[in-house]
Structure 1
Amino acid sequence: MRFIFLFLLALLAFFNYELWYGDNGQARISDLQEKIENQQKLNDAAIARNNAMAAEVQDLRDGGKAVEEIGRLEQGMIKQDEIFVQILTPNS
């Protein structure tokens, strides 16, 4: 009877050691959970960026206003019969 009790106690100690300090123990699990949370944050940011790009692409496909806006801002284009005024600030 005593032998069975000691065997079961040793078995319990072994499994507890494996649970807390083993290769797949609690420390590794918490480390992996932290990595999962960080990756989920990166994925959420990428999804938001992709959604913004998809909306811009859809706007470029559907309407001419987006193309006109990009042309005006990036290329400095103006419409016919428009007056272009450029205000320069003195160099400081």
Structure 2
Amino acid sequence: MPARWVTPALAAVLLAVQAQLWFGQGSVPHVMQLRSQLAAQQAVNDEARLRNEQLAVEVGDLKEGLEMVEEKARAELGMLKPDEILVQITRR
């Protein structure tokens, strides 16, 4: 008589483990979603790291020399030296 209940009990345990694997915390779909989010966040972090490195180089240039200051003034503010004439060429 006890052998009769062993198979259904083991089947119930197997179903519980499988349910946890597919639907519970740490399930396969949940782990896949977390991996996707991790990859997206790593891409954002890589872009931010690159931008930070560029800004660090730019800050270093601004601290060390006036060439970067002059370049920024020309590009962003349109400033000219006293004896210069500005000529702009546009492409269509």
Both proteins in one fold, TM over 0.5: yes
Which consecutive residues of structure 1, in runs of 5 or more, have no partner in the other structure? Answer: none
How far apart are residue 52 of structure 1 and its match? 0.6
Match of 1:66 in 2: 68
Give the direction of change, closer, same or farther, for the CA distance of 1:56–1:88 in structure 2 (3 Å limit): closer
Match of 2:80 in 1: 77
Question: How far, CA to CA, are the matches of 1:34 and 1:44 in structure 2?
Answer: 15
Which consecutive residues of structure 2, in runs of 5 or more, have no partner in the other structure? Answer: none
CA deviations 1:33-81 (Å, max 9, x no partner) are: 1111111111111111111111100111112211122223333131x6x
Question: How far, CA to CA, are the matches of 2:31 and 2:11 in structure 1?
Answer: 25
Q: TM-score, normalised by structure 1?
A: 0.78
Question: How far, CA to CA, are the matches of 2:45 and 2:87 in structure 1?
Answer: 43
Match of 1:86 in 2: 86
Match of 2:28 in 1: 26
Verify the 8 A CA contact 2:80 2:86 in the aligned structure 1.
Answer: no
Give the direction of change, closer, same or farther, for the CA distance of 1:61–1:88 in structure 2 (3 Å limit): closer
Question: How far, CA to CA, are the matches of 1:85 and 1:19 in structure 2?
Answer: 72
Q: TM-score, normalised by structure 2?
A: 0.78
Match of 1:4 in 2: 6
Give the direction of change, closer, same or farther, for the CA distance of 1:62–1:13 in structure 2 (3 Å limit): same
Q: Percent identity?
A: 30
Question: How far, CA to CA, are the matches of 2:55 and 2:88 in structure 1?
Answer: 33
